[in-house]
């Protein structure tokens, strides 16, 4: 039957800084990965393998970090890391920081996260360039397994106006993250001007459904979704999922 | 293999006001629907069956609608319908209206949409109460097909800061729209304080992957996702997916 399948990639061990994530994922996904699949990987294992962990004992908080942390009972060192990972603060209130990361993502705490990280005083940052991370994984799967796939690096983001987090795409390789129906007509002949679908975000969210938060499944395979292939993986980017500043009504 | 499947519900004809959507969907999904599945239905067919269509020829635009429409080259009657469907304007600029609907959803144009609607001068509104619509569908599937499923009514919403729309849940029955991991620990023993997942939104987005915008597939079945059952369907609501005003930093 036509449809889409979402398969958990099981048997991935705890990933540590310097680990060869490509070898680990290639091993775990080897028999399951088919040409045309989308491999969705949570950024947490990518960040860990890339050494994007910070030992808070090494962090000297700034005055702003100290005062904000003390007002809301937070760890000033963790606030300091959030400020350092931000290029612009969007909202800062009630102990929460919503900021724009260097990548251009707007999210809570600039993506700095203490969950699913070994060590009480360690926090995890986003990959330096999650498109590059995605591209490396994609190229490696092609080289090692001989299988052309698309890769999405995911993270859990909150949303304005809605409760709860969902997984979205912060890195993309091998596919257009958007499905653009503009210029086409709906079945009634009406032009679909507003119909640009953020399918990479939907793929990331779909993958989350088989990952859970406690089961240690950091990757999933989506099969049967006909994405727009981007053969030169360099031209595929999660930055296409960012609202251009001049069109952003919520800066 | 463990995993989640997303299956398009095919063979649904064009739905018209007064049509028996329950009979239409029960017919189309009959052989495919298993206990524990999630039936995701785009609101468009629900709204049509419920007669939530407005003939713009019957709409007398207000002064505000006329001036805003004339400034941005829009149809003043359509702007008027958007204003009528709103209980609060969140942003109104550059020809765009972001508002809060009576249900509490914050979205573009209060969900008023001219695409996938027959007739050039007709627009489609959101269902009056999309949780009630979901509940009726769920109860009907149980009664007609003897199959207990969860139902999600979906719509395509834009997002702050991100380009492209994704499908999210505007009506839910039979399942908890959130998966709440608070109080549990991650594999490293760290408490997951921020981990409330909006799984109904992820299910809606996943379903969109098999629907497309031009193929006339208004429903999908998600199989293999272990949601939190809510037996008394009355207590399940997409309103749980709304950010409470007192915690909303982007009103």
Determine the topology of domain A5-52+127-242 in CATH. 60s Ribosomal Protein L30; Chain: A; (3.30.1330)
Whether the Cβ atoms of residue A57 and residue A123 lie closer than 8 Å to each other = no
User: Looking at beta carbons, which residues of chain A come within 8 Å of B197?
Assistant: 156, 164-166, 208, 213
pLDDT at B84 over 90: yes
Q: What is the mean pLDDT of residues A166-186?
A: 90
Q: List CB contacts of B177: < 8 A, sequence separation 6 or more.
A: A164, B152, B169, B198, B199, B200, B201, B236, B237, B238, B240, B241
Q: What is the mean pLDDT of residues B45-74?
A: 96
- At B4 the three-state DSSP class reads strand
Q: Which residues from chain B sit within 8 angstroms of residue A56, using beta carbons? A: none
- Predicted confidence at residue B119, as pLDDT, reads 79
For A5-16, write each residue's pLDDT tens digit. Answer: 999 999 999 899
pLDDT score of B214:
67
For A209, which of B178, B195, B225 is closest by C-beta distance?
A: B225
Please name the residue of chain B whose CA is at the shortest distance from the CA of residue A189: B116
B193: nearest CA partner in chain A: A115
Q: Which residues of A touch B186 (CB under 8 A)?
A: 115-116, 213-214
Question: Residue A188: which of B117, B162, B249 has the nearest Cβ?
Answer: B117
Cross-chain Cβ contact A3/B208 below 8 Å: no
pTM: 0.95
Q: What is the pLDDT of residues B146-203, one digit of tens each?
A: 999 999 999 999 999 999 999 999 999 999 999 988 777 777 776 666 689 999 999 9
* A171 has a pLDDT exceeding 80: yes
pLDDT of A211 reads: 93
Shortest Cα–Cα distance, A185 to chain B (Å):
7
Contact between residue B25 and residue B15 where contact means Cβ atoms under 8 Å apart? no
How deeply is A87 buried, as exposed, middle or buried, from its count of CB atoms within 10 A (0-12, 13-18, 19+)? exposed
pLDDT score of B183: 74
Measured between beta carbons, the chain B residues lying within 8 angstroms of A108 are 194
Tokens 């294992």, located at residue: A45
Of A184, A205, A248, the CB nearest to B206: A205
Cβ within 8 Å, pair A4-B3:
no
CB contact under 8 A, B166 and A116: no
Class of domain A53-123: alpha beta
Cβ separation A165–B198 shorter than 8 A: yes
Contact across the interface for A162 and B156, Cβ inside 8 Å = no
pLDDT of B1 higher than 60 = no
In Å, what is the CA distance from B244 to each residue of A161, A162, B69, B75? 8, 8, 31, 33
Give the number of other Cβ atoms within 10 Å of residue B70's Cβ.
11
**Predicted local confidence at residue A210, as pLDDT:** 96
Q: Which residues of B touch A162 (CB under 8 A)?
A: 168, 198, 201, 241-243
Q: What is the pLDDT of residue A119?
A: 79
A60-106 residue pLDDT tens? 999 999 999 999 999 999 999 999 999 999 999 999 999 999 999 99
- For the stretch A101-137, pLDDT in tens is 999 999 999 999 988 788 789 999 999 999 999 999 9
- B31 pLDDT band (50/70/90 cuts)? confident
Mean pLDDT over residues A234-247, rounded? 90
Q: Which of A205, A218, A225, A237 to mutate to test the interface with B (most CBs of B within 10 A)?
A: A205
Task: From chain B, pick out residues whose CB is under 8 angstroms from the CB of A161.
Answer: 105-106, 160, 242-243, 248, 250
* A–B interface: beta-carbon pairs under 8 A: 241
- Select from A202, A241, A247 the residue whose CB has the most chain B CBs within 10 Å, as the one to mutate to test that interface: A202
The reported pLDDT for the residue numbered A2 is 77
Residue A232 has pLDDT above 70, yes or no: no
Q: What is the pLDDT of residue B120?
A: 81
Q: Which of B119, B162, B209 sits opposite A203 (nearest CB)?
A: B209
Closest Cα of chain A to B140: distance in Å?
A: 25
| Assigned CATH for B5-51+129-242 | 3.30.1330.100
Per-residue DSSP letter, B35: T
Cβ of B213 within 8 Å of Cβ of A205? The answer is: no
Question: Which residue in the set B14, B108, B198 is minimally distant from A164, CB to CB?
Answer: B198
Listed in sequence order, the residues at least 6 apart from A97 whose beta carbon sits closer than 8 Å to its beta carbon are A68, A79, A82, A83, A86, A89, A91, A108, A109, A110
Q: Which residues of A touch B208 (CB under 8 A)?
A: 197, 199, 202
The complex scores an ipTM of: 0.95
Q: Which residues of B touch A213 (CB under 8 A)?
A: 181, 184, 186, 192, 195, 197
Tokens of A39: 């491999």
Give the percent of chain B with pLDDT over 90.
Answer: 80
Q: Do B213 and A184 touch (CB under 8 A)?
A: yes
Predicted confidence at residue A31, as pLDDT, reads 82
Q: Indicate if the pLDDT at residue A185 is higher than 80.
A: no
Token code pair at residue B76 = 């003043």
DSSP secondary structure string for all residues of chain A: ---EEEEE---PPPP-TT--HHHHHHHHHTTT--TT-EEEEEHHHHHHHTT-EEEGGG----HHHHHHHHHHT--HHHHHHHHHTEEEEEEEETTEEEEEETTS-EEEGGG-B-TT-SSTTEEEPPPS-HHHHHHHHHHHHHHHH----EEEEEEEEEETTEEEEEEEEEEEESB-S-EE-TT-B-TTS-B-TT-EE-HHHHHHHHHHHHHTTTS---EEEEES----B-SSGGG--GGGGBPPGGG-TT-
Q: Where are the domains of chain B?
A: 5-51+129-242, 53-123
Each residue's pLDDT tens digit, B100-154: 999 999 999 999 998 878 878 999 999 999 999 999 999 999 999 999 999 999 9
pLDDT value for A114: 86
Task: Report which of residues A140 and B184 the model is more confident about.
Answer: A140
Predicted local distance difference test score (pLDDT) of residue A234: 61
Write down the mean pLDDT value for chain A: 92
């Amino acid at each position: 039957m036509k449809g889409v399948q979402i398969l958990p990639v099981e048997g991935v061990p705890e990933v540590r800084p310097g680990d060869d994530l490509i070898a680990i994922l290639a091993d775990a996904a080897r028999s399951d990965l088919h040409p045309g699949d989308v491999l969705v990987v949570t950024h947490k294992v990518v960040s860990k393998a890339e050494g994007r962990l910070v030992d808070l004992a090494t962090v000297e908080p700034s005055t702003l970090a100290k005062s904000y942390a003390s007002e809301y009972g937070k760890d000033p060192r963790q606030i300091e890391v959030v400020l350092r990972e931000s290029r612009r603060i969007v909202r800062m209130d009630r102990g929460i920081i919503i900021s724009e990361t260097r990548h251009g993502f707007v999210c809570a705490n600039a993506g700095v996260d203490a969950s699913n990280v070994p060590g009480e005083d360690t926090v995890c940052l986003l990959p330096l360039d999650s498109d590059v991370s995605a591209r490396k994984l994609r190229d490696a799967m092609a080289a090692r397994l001989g299988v052309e796939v698309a890769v999405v690096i995911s993270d859990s983001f909150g949303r304005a106006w809605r409760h709860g987090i969902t997984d979205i795409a912060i890195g993309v390789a091998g596919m257009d993250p958007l499905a653009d129906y503009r210029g086409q007509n709906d079945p009634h002949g009406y032009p679909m001007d507003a119909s640009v679908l953020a399918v990479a975000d939907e793929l990331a969210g779909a993958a989350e459904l088989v990952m859970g938060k406690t089961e240690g499944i950091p990757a999933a395979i989506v099969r049967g979704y006909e994405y727009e292939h981007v053969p030169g993986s360099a031209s595929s980017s999660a930055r296409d999922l960012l609202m251009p500043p001049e069109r952003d009504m919520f800066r």
